[in-house]
Chains A and B, each alone.
Chain A
Amino acid sequence: MKKTIITVVGKDTVGIIARVCTYLAENQINILDISQTIVQGYFNMMMIVDTNRTEKDFGVVAEELERLGESIGVIIKCQKEEIFNQMHRI
């Protein structure tokens, strides 16, 4: 399974999760895990998703999510899971 980590950071507002999840659902991207915290008034969310079934290229998904983030006023980043596994697991 190709796992991707999506992070969303920004000012908290209504509907952030809803809009991100809508985009993922429309693109056949399955959410495996979500965690979310508020740090110093800032919304901080991490999603682990499975991108196996989406037809879009990784770069396209990353760019579309980035633009969605801009429209909500948050920063959305997409990264392959390996960089975190490599760094934090032996």
Chain B
Amino acid sequence: MINIFEVAETNEMIEKENLDVRTITLGISLVDCIDADLKLVNEKIYHKIYDAAKDLVATGDYISGEYGIPIVNKRISVTPIALVGAAACKTPEDFVSIANTLDKVAHEVGVNFIGGYSALVSKGMTQADEMLIRSVPKALASTERVCSSVNLGSTKTGINMDAVKLMGEVILQTAEATKEADSLGCAKLVVFCNAPDDNPFMAGAFHGVTETDKVINVGVSGPGVVKTALEKVRGENFEVLCETIKKTAFKVTRVGQLVAKEASRRLKVPFGIVDLSLAPTPAIGDSVADILCEIGLEHAGAPGTTAALALLNDQVKKGGVMASSYVGGLSGAFIPVSEDQGMIDAVTAGALTLEKLEAMTCVCSVGLDMIAIPGDTKATTISGIIADEMAIGMVNQKTTAVRLIPVIGKGVGETVEFGGLLGYAPIMPVNGFSCDAFVNRGGRIPAPIHSFKN
């Protein structure tokens, strides 16, 4: 039988170390909402989502109460809207009407984000894909809870450089369209290479076409729990360090598995996956950067950071995989800047640069995330940064992503406040040398060779 020390350990994790379930995300297929009549598409989408998700928030809260574990977010992901709206939408404005429907139903069922205002264009763009992408600035400016993502490349297809170029422009336009709110729209827009179909985390969640009609995916968290566990093994060797991370990740993930199964049972929706991510928040003690410091770095970004992150990421997976029957999504350590107090401190101290962050993304999920850059950054420069990150994902057969926020009207040395889970960020300098000629070539980068890996 469970003893008092085990009970105390669990509750200590929850109460003092910020252990929580970061999100229950209900994936809903909208393929059956496709119609040539836009009004009908919007109606069908509204009803399908409302019916599927009306009990999601209450169920999440109930489970949270029963087990005494916070479930921070309840969210929805849907089939990429570029597919759902392709038959009905003749202009970007038509797509914006679907964004407004998604926002409306998100408010009504009480979820804080709805993801899937997306296009998958890793090899080429259909007319509908391009219209959706061009509608993103207006869609994100006119909605509150809609999240958008675009898959620009994959290991199998290479990188769609036309779309990369376009996204550089779209990110700047989104920043401009939401400049009154410090370009907040860009915090809800992410581009991917090798985007997973079952990611529960925003802004990149969408319900892939390989998925069933409805599915429950759960994202766990717990950087604070790992950090506290590591405090007890200071000075020990790497074997002890790695074992400690693994055991802690196991415990954290088991809670996610329990919540996922329970949500699945109560909502009568199949359980999909648990995403084994270490997801930080701006709260003190809920930081991935602090774990890196505990491993032995003065600041995230110091020499050794990439190695420390690589081992952390790997041990989290090794511990978590056994704790859950199905693992998927992004599964790894997240390194967003604005959402992690330790990362913010590292940038402010001058320890962490954009280039070091890029190196770090080679060994962890996901990518250049929640990084504020000067508002006068050129579109081609943003495209160049995106291309670099996509290349890392393509060659290393992993998911990479870019979520940059060019803050209109602000420059290096200033900070930007997004509020809530999105946090705040110092604006980071960007390499000012031009990549115009590279980005403007057009076309796509071929898929890499899959053999001869030396």
Contact = CB atoms under 8 A, between A and B. Distances in A.
B258 A35 contact: no
Given A83-B10, A87-B251, A78 B68 contact: yes
Nearest to B67: A83
B449 interface: no
B62 interface: yes
A11 interface: no
A86 B65 contact: no
Nearest to B257: A86
A81 interface: yes
B255 interface: yes
A81 to B, nearest CB: 7
Interface in B1-51: 1-4, 6-11
A86 B4 CA distance: 15
A24 B254 CA distance: 30
Interface string A52-86: 00000011001000000000000001111111111
B99 to A, nearest CB: 36
B200 to A, nearest CB: 19
B7 A7 contact: yes
B66 interface: yes
Contacts of B7: 5, 7, 46, 84
B273 interface: no
Interface string A16-41: 00000000000000000101110000
A58 B15 CA distance: 21
A33 B1 contact: yes
B3 A35 contact: yes
B69 interface: yes
B6 A88 contact: yes
A85 B321 CA distance: 18
A83 B258 CA distance: 7
A48 B6 CA distance: 13
Interface in B62-95: 62, 65-69
B206 to A, nearest CB: 29
A84 B68 contact: no
A83 B255 contact: yes
Nearest to B262: A82
Nearest to A4: B66
Contacts of B69: 83
A79 B4 contact: no
A86 B257 CA distance: 9
Given A7-B11, A84-B2, A87-B10, A79 B254 contact: no
A79 B255 contact: no
B66 A81 contact: no
Contacts of A62: 65
B10 A48 contact: no
A87 B255 contact: yes
B111 to A, nearest CB: 22
Contacts of B6: 84, 87-88
A11 B5 CA distance: 18
A80 B2 contact: no
Contacts of A36: 4
* Most chain A CB inside 10 Å of its own CB: which residue of B7, B11, B67: B7
A59 B258 contact: no
Contact of B11 (A35, A77, A80): A77
B2 A88 contact: yes
A48 B67 CA distance: 14
A87 B11 contact: no
Given A48-B1, A88-B2, A79 B68 contact: yes
B58 to A, nearest CB: 12
A80 B258 CA distance: 11
B11 A58 contact: no
Given A45-B4, A48-B2, A88-B10, 6 more contacts: A35-B3, A46-B4, A46-B7, A59-B66, A79-B68, A81-B2
Interface of B: 1-4, 6-11, 62, 65-69, 251, 254-255, 257-258
26 contacts: A5-B2, A7-B8, A44-B8, A46-B4, A58-B65, A59-B62, A59-B65, A59-B66, A62-B65, A78-B68, A79-B67, A79-B68, A83-B67, A83-B258, A84-B6, A84-B7, A84-B10, A85-B2, A86-B257, A87-B251, A87-B254, A87-B255, A88-B2, A88-B6, A88-B9, A88-B251
